[in-house]
Amino acid sequence: MRGRVVLVSTMAAAVFVATPAMAHKSPRHSQSSRVIATGTGEARVLPKDRQSNASIVAAVDVAHQLAIERGFRKAREYARGYAKLAGLTLGRVLSVTDVQPTPGYYYGGGGYYGRFGPNRYCGFVRERVGPPVQGQKPTFKKVHRCFVPKFASSTLIVTYSAR
């Protein structure tokens, strides 16, 4: 069953990626024409203190806002190109949808899941003490670690009016 879920998820993602935009021109009413484009933006996460959860959370938020702006600009760029190819003039924004990633360990819009839970990038992990010795159980200790995501991303679907 798990293989089927992964296959269906992969197929759905492939369809979504393969169709980033659409130009629609109504044959009867040119005022109802629209262009739909998808834009993805990314931004590096650069915390001031890599050992502070609060600093990492603040840096992820800043990076996510920048990723939204970049995704919006990329969607507009694609929409202009699609409208030009379809013989339309791009109008105002009709709607914007923020595409949410599937739950799990991700750094994206709507909720950030660090290694230790939502907005938790620092915590305790078990670390082995000393080299492995055959015939003996390994000894572990708890150590505090922070895991900083490399980037934040945002994918937007933007619908524009067109004439």
Write the pLDDT tens digit of every residue in 67-80.
999 999 999 999 99
Q: List the CATH code of the domain at 22-120+149-162.
A: 3.30.110.170
Burial class (CB in 10 A: 0-12, 13-18, 19+), 122: buried
- To which H or E segment does residue 53 belong? helix 53-86
Of 22 and 159, more confident: 159
Query: pLDDT tens digits, residue range 96-121?
Result: 999 876 544 444 444 566 788 888 99
Strand partners, 122: 146
Query: pTM surpassing 0.75?
Result: no
State the pLDDT at residue 117.
86
State the pLDDT at residue 111.
52
Q: In whole angstroms, give the CA distance from residue 25 to residue 29.
A: 8
| Token pair belonging to 15 | 């369809």
Return mean pLDDT, the chain. 80
At residue 10, does pLDDT exceed 50?
no
Query: pLDDT tens digits, residue range 17-61?
Result: 434 555 555 454 445 699 999 999 999 999 999 999 999 999 999
Q: Where along the chain do its domains lie? A: 22-120+149-162
State the pLDDT at residue 110.
44
Q: Helix (H, G, I), strand (E, B), or coil: what is residue 145?
A: strand
